[in-house]
Amino acid sequence: MLTTTQFYSTCTSPWTLIFSFCTIVLLHIFRRRPVLPFPPGPKGLPILGNALDMPCGNPWLTYSQWGKTYNSDIVHVNSLGTHVIVLNSAKAVHELFEKRSSIYSDRLKGKGLPYRIRMSWNIAFLPYGPRWRAWRKVFYEHFHPNASRQYRPRELRAARQLLENLLRTPEQYRHHLRFMTGQVIMGIAYGIEVAPHDDPYVSLAETALQAVESASTTGWTFDMLPFYKHLPWWFPGASFKKEAARLAPHIDDMVNKPYQTVKDALVTGTAVPSVAASMIASLGENPSHEDELASKAVPATMYIGGADTTVASLLTFFLAMVLHPDAQSRAQREIDSVVGAGRLPDFGDEMSLPYVSAVVEEVMRWHPVAPVAVPHRLIVDDVYKGYFLPAGSIVIGNTWAVLHDESVFPEPLRFQPERFLNLNVKLPDVGFGFGRRICPGRFMARSSMWITVASVLAAFDICPVVNGQGVPQIPKEEYSAGPVSYPEEFACTIRARSKHAEELIVSSLRDTT
């Protein structure tokens, strides 16, 4: 008979722990064998399943290749008992995320990415339930199509300011684009006018965005590995936990500091209209913790969700114009014929500039800012095309695959705006998410994108840099692999189209202030 000491020694020996771990994993994997098959996918290893197959860099390309390899628009992998379903077509996305949205709108459970960086308040990460529905409703009230139109004057002023900044220091175009997006979003969210350089609120937000980038680059993958959240930060591959812990306080500052600024301004009577001011004013004298948390979450979600994505889209626009001068020239000819030489485009010209609008659509299709959407979670068992999809599955919408489907977009890697002049082709809103999880700020984002693109095309030529031998230096089409995918640094020449255009830039900014 074992003594108590011997019993605990046996139970805690390394081999016993390994055996126990393997047994638990096997029981988890084989606890039920569905009658119907899983969707096709790469064959996994014993116990590990497809854990080693999960891509860390450019996952949208791996997922797309799996779809082609297995000739299926829905692919299945099993990572240590966690089922992952990838949707690679508009049809699959529509059938599951749209028509069955009530069971496909949840997010990952447990202490995953949002908790590691203290961003569980972010509406995009909230579990599907009463809190999400309530906060989403408030967000939509400020950003539905009609409500979004009230922000157009601010978007127009920011676009005009961008033109003047590009005229003065065109080589700093990346900084100018980031300032413009901060100017728009901080103004709408908090009524805060940001400084052109070293603005403390923009700095807070940028550090917070770095935290999201750092955690997301590896975080979503490891959320698919059930045991990984228990490993210490020094374990190989888990160092991102330490980095996330370092950056998390900056997330807190981004949520709390501009919010407190608005509260103080309301007390002194100096607050300007904003989403935060409206929500704080509606709280009353003794707000509940839940109501105050919502009034912080909505404007903060605005910034964290809109700043990076808008900058990435506009950088893709600049890269596309450098690489495709014919598209740039055609758009400029359209602007010249419709708007004329006496002014710059405004929102009233949108319906008369179909090719410019097609350029905007093609920018968002050619390289979507979020090639892989934030993962969904299936609530109950489901069946699709005769395949079994188990409850608890992580369901990933591959935005890249949907927008590069050759049956819908021939030669999908080509930048070809005219494809959207065909009335039978309409860009799905998948670039903004799926189903009930689609971004409610997409209407404002589109209008801001349109006025910026139209204004820049009217005023500037965007060209390759020419070296000392007169040879154009064509930049490479390279993108970052993070959750928001940016073009890598590239040089370009941005010059006013004429002396008259320079004068128009200066006078148009004065007219909007």
CA distance 113 to 394: 14
Asked if the model's pLDDT at residue 12 lies above 50, the reply is: no
Question: Which of 326, 363, 304, 317 minimizes the C-alpha distance to 166?
Answer: 317
Low-confidence winner among 243-247, 299-303, 427-431, 496-500 (lowest mean pLDDT): 427-431
pLDDT of residue 121: 85
Report yes or no on 293 lying in a domain.
Answer: yes
CA distance 421 to 358: 7
Extract the tokens encoding 88: 């690679």
Please give the annotated binding residues, written as ranges.
Answer: 439
Amino acid in the structure at residue 511? D
Low-confidence winner among 189-203, 246-260, 334-348, 417-431 (lowest mean pLDDT): 417-431
User: Is beta strand 74-79 parallel, antiparallel or unpaired with respect to 82-87?
Assistant: antiparallel
Number of domains in the chain: 1
Asked if the model's pLDDT at residue 5 lies above 90, the reply is: no
Report yes or no on 9 lying in a domain.
Answer: no
Task: Give the C-alpha distances (Å, rounded to integers) separating 381 from 16, 87, 389.
Answer: 34, 16, 6
pLDDT (mean) for 302-315 = 88
CB contact at 8 A, 335 and 350: no
**Terminal Cα-to-Cα distance of the chain (whole angstroms):** 88
Report yes or no on 117 lying in a domain.
Answer: yes
Asked if the model's pLDDT at residue 42 lies above 60, the reply is: yes
| pTM (whole model) above 0.75 | yes
CB contact at 8 A, 191 and 272: yes
pLDDT of residue 8: 34
Report yes or no on 19 lying in a domain.
Answer: no
CA distance 132 to 79: 28
Task: Give the confidence band of 381 by pLDDT, cuts at 50, 70, 90.
Answer: very high
Question: Which of 182, 485, 220 minimizes the C-alpha distance to 377?
Answer: 220
Task: Give the confidence band of 10 by pLDDT, cuts at 50, 70, 90.
Answer: very low
Extract the tokens encoding 456: 């820049």
Q: Is 464 helix (H, G, I), strand (E, B) or coil?
A: coil
| Tens digits of residue pLDDT in 57-106 | 789 999 999 999 999 999 999 887 789 999 999 999 999 999 999 999 99
Residue in the block written with tokens 């935005």? 399
pLDDT of residue 11: 40
Please give the annotated binding residues for heme, written as ranges.
Answer: 439
pLDDT of residue 326: 97
Asked if the model's pLDDT at residue 16 lies above 50, the reply is: no
Asked if the model's pLDDT at residue 14 lies above 60, the reply is: no
pLDDT (mean) for 297-316 = 90
Low-confidence winner among 125-129, 182-186, 329-333, 506-510 (lowest mean pLDDT): 506-510
Report yes or no on 16 lying in a domain.
Answer: no
| Tens digits of residue pLDDT in 455-496 | 999 999 999 999 888 888 999 999 988 788 999 999 999 999
Extract the tokens encoding 490: 């590239």
CA distance 366 to 320: 9
pLDDT of residue 234: 65
Report yes or no on 412 lying in a domain.
Answer: yes
Report yes or no on 11 lying in a domain.
Answer: no
Asked if the model's pLDDT at residue 360 lies above 90, the reply is: yes
Identify the bridge partners of residue 461 per DSSP, sorted by sequence position: 495
Helix axes 173-190, 152-168, angle to 10 degrees: 160
- Rounded (5°) CA angle 254-256-260: 125
pLDDT of residue 350: 96
Report yes or no on 4 lying in a domain.
Answer: no
CB contact at 8 A, 316 and 177: no
pLDDT of residue 233: 61
| Tens digits of residue pLDDT in 262-306 | 999 999 999 999 999 999 999 878 888 899 999 999 999 988 888
Instruction: List the CATH number of the domain containing 207.
Output: 1.10.630.10
Q: Which of 33-47, 272-286, 422-436 has the highest mean pLDDT?
A: 272-286
Amino acid in the structure at residue 206? E
Low-confidence winner among 136-140, 404-408, 422-426, 487-491 (lowest mean pLDDT): 422-426
Cβ neighbours, 10 Å, residue 355: 19
Question: Which of 513, 465, 507 minimizes the C-alpha distance to 163?
Answer: 507
pLDDT (mean) for 376-388 = 96
Query: In the predicted model, what is the mean pLDDT of the chain?
Result: 86
Looking at residue 474, the DSSP 8-state letter turns out to be: P
pLDDT of residue 207: 77
CB contact at 8 A, 216 and 199: no
pLDDT (mean) for 211-236 = 60
For residue 442, the enclosing domain spans: 27-512
User: Is beta strand 82-87 parallel, antiparallel or unpaired with respect to 394-397?
Assistant: parallel
Cβ partners under 8 Å of residue 132, min gap 6: 123, 126
